[in-house]
Structure 1
Amino acid sequence: MGLRSKVPRVKVTLQEIRERTYKPVDAWWTVLLVDPLAARLVRLVAPYRWITPNVLTLIASIFGFGAAACFATGERWALVAGGILFHISFVVDCMDGKIARLNGTGTMFGQWLDFVLDRVRVFFIALALFGGQYVQTENVAWLWLMAVAVFLDLFRYLNSAQMTKVRASMRDQIAAYRLPVAPRADSGADMGEPGDEMPAPAPAAAGGGSLKNRIGATLRRNRIRTHLFSGIEYEMFVFIVGPITGLIFGVTIAAGAALLAFEMFLIYKLLRACQQFPGKLAAAKAAHEEQETERVPSSV
């Protein structure tokens, strides 16, 4: 029975993997440098049901700690090897979500395990990378840079989780006033999502619309989100580009500045959404009361 469970099943096609596992939009590093390889690896391992998302999460951690071991030496060749191992770790880490969606094998515990091991892995890799440089140079600036790098990584993920929670709360409060009624034939307007900072842009005119809209549309057509420097790009630059190029200090500073700039923009957008929320909530409440009045038969 155990042997039969390990017999591979029929392989899925790359197209099926793309359709069922790719996110509609994703980080440009993932879209361009990870998905093409991860999809092909998923095609190889997907038929083996014993290769679960949790197994892949653990494998990604092993590669990650291998990268940390290389970084800790501080040697030039080891920095390059560490950067390559970190990228492999990220590819395998992306595979676990694809396998979960493809085979329906994802679990709530697996989501927790993936998140926690990601954060633990990044912490020890940062400790090894910057600590290794400190041992090589005895320059305390590397320790300060390590503290900043770890703080920014944690800030990004904690901030993202909290912003998601706030937006979900606003959506839920407005959704509570929506009645499950069929849309009227004369109403084709899109009410939008609660918490949106502004209405969805109108379709571009024949002239092509603004440069910003054209760039955004081009990025979305290629599955690239307009948030061009997120936690993913930050980690990839700090732990891959910096070590491979040998410009660890400068790349880390530049990546941190870019991450902060995009985070401040997201915070500004959240502020706008929160400022608009009371008006949207009041409008939803008024529409709800009007619909309730129409549903109650008027007395003669």
Structure 2
Amino acid sequence: MAQRPSLAEIRERTYKRRDAWWTVWLVDPLASRLVWLVAPWRWVTPNLLSLGAFALGLGAAACFWQAEYPWLLAGALLFHLGFVLDCMDGKIARLNGTGSLFGSWLDYVFDRLRVVTCSLALFGGQWNHTGETYWLWLATAVIFLDMFRYLNALQMQKVKLTMKENLTAAAEAAGKPMEYAEETDDEAPLDEEASKIDVHGDFRARFRGFLSFRNFLLRQRIRAHVFSGIEFMMFVFIVGPVIGQLVAVTIVSGVLLLAFESLLVYKLWTTTRTYHRRLAVL
């Protein structure tokens, strides 16, 4: 059995620099201690934890289908525990160096399948219990929003990578090699540095009032994208069932997710406009 790392070492080596507030406040404190417990056992691999998270998701779905409140509570608990395991797989991979490209694919696919399965079970169970068809519309909306959120994130990352590659290549071709200012959600200074290619300054300049709130979040290790896909899932599959307000929580969560995704789209739009100006002068 390998030597057990300290909790401080686990936090330093496995915590993301920025993460969702749900993860930072409600998951990492438990997940880090569980990682401390299982880290010496090398048979506890990231892929095994991903499989365990998916199995707990299936258990949550089975509980959600029963539709009655005690079962909804059990489903919410299993869903949360599944998310804890889902966070542990990345921590174990970073701590023990056991991550893999296949593991990344497995984790991503299982996450999406868990959302689809639990959506159909949670709202389908209510439809089966009440006969009201609006439950099926809610299930469709949740699956669509989750799909949109993650497809949008993948495409945004692709666009940002293309901008970085093109600007860096253009600067080198012009004999003005400069460092590309990475998007650090805004740890970059408001004033552009001559030694850097910065395409994010226009957005920051338009939202200066948001900077103090953003900086507070960053000090807590929380990203400025306050209501992301993680919070959306946790509210739909945990908060809604626990407080017994599935419809209201799902609708409010969907509106908040769309609002923050719209802000990201607007941010990307302003960034691409700045990108074209920077590219024209290099």
Q: Residue 129 of structure 1 aligns with which residue?
A: 122
Partner of 1:282: 280
**1:197 and 1:270 in contact (8 A); partners too:** no
Aligned mate of 2:159, from 166, 189, 209: 166
- 2:24 and 2:89 mapped to 1: Cα distance? 16
Partner of 1:215: 213
C-alpha deviation, 1:177, in angstroms? 2.9
Does the 8 Å contact 2:178/2:196 carry over to 1?
no
CA contact (8 A) 2:64 2:72 kept: yes
Aligned match of 1:37? 30
Q: Distance in 1 between matches of 2:196 and 2:51?
A: 40
How far the C-alpha of 1:212 sits from its partner, in A, is 2.7
Q: Corresponding residue for 1:225?
A: 223
With the length of structure 1 as denominator, give the TM-score of the two structures.
Answer: 0.84
Per-residue CA deviation, residues 140-184 of structure 1 (Å, 9 max, x unaligned), is: 00001110110000000000100111011001111113449699x
| Equivalent residue letter for 1:272 | T
Structure 1: tracts of 5 or more residues without a match: 1-7, 202-209, 286-300
SS of corresponding position for 2:202: coil
Give the distance between the partners of 2:194 and 2:110, measured in 1 at CA. 40
Give 1:262's aligned residue.
260
Native 8 Å contact 2:203 2:271 kept in 1: no
Pick closer, same or farther for the CA change 1:190–1:247 going to 2, 3 Å: farther
2:9 pairs with 1:11:
no
Q: How many residue pairs align between the two structures?
A: 265
Q: Distance in 1 between matches of 2:108 and 2:96?
A: 20
Asked if residue 196 in structure 1 is aligned to residue 200 in structure 2, the reply is: yes
CA distance in 2 between partners of 1:264 and 1:199 (Å): 14
Inter-CA distance 233–128: structure 2 relative to 1 (3 Å threshold): same
Q: Is it true that 1:252 corresponds to 2:245 in the alignment? A: no
2:67 aligned with 1:69: no
Match of 1:59 in 2: 52
Q: For residue 186 of structure 2, what is the aligned residue in structure 1?
A: none
Aligned-residue CA RMSD (Å):
1.9
Task: Name stretches of at least 5 consecutive residues in structure 2 with no aligned partner.
Answer: 180-191
1:177 to 2:170 alignment: yes
Query: Cα distance 1:83–1:106, how it changes in 2: closer, same or farther (>3 A)?
Result: same
TM-score under structure 2 normalisation?
Answer: 0.89
* Compared CA separation, residues 243 and 193, structure 1 to 2 (3 A): farther
The answer (yes or no) to whether the contact 2:65–2:124 under 8 Å persists in 1 is yes
Q: Aligned partner of 1:219: which letter?
A: L
Partner amino acid, structure 2, of 1:214: S
The alpha-carbon deviation at position 189 of structure 1 amounts to: 3.1
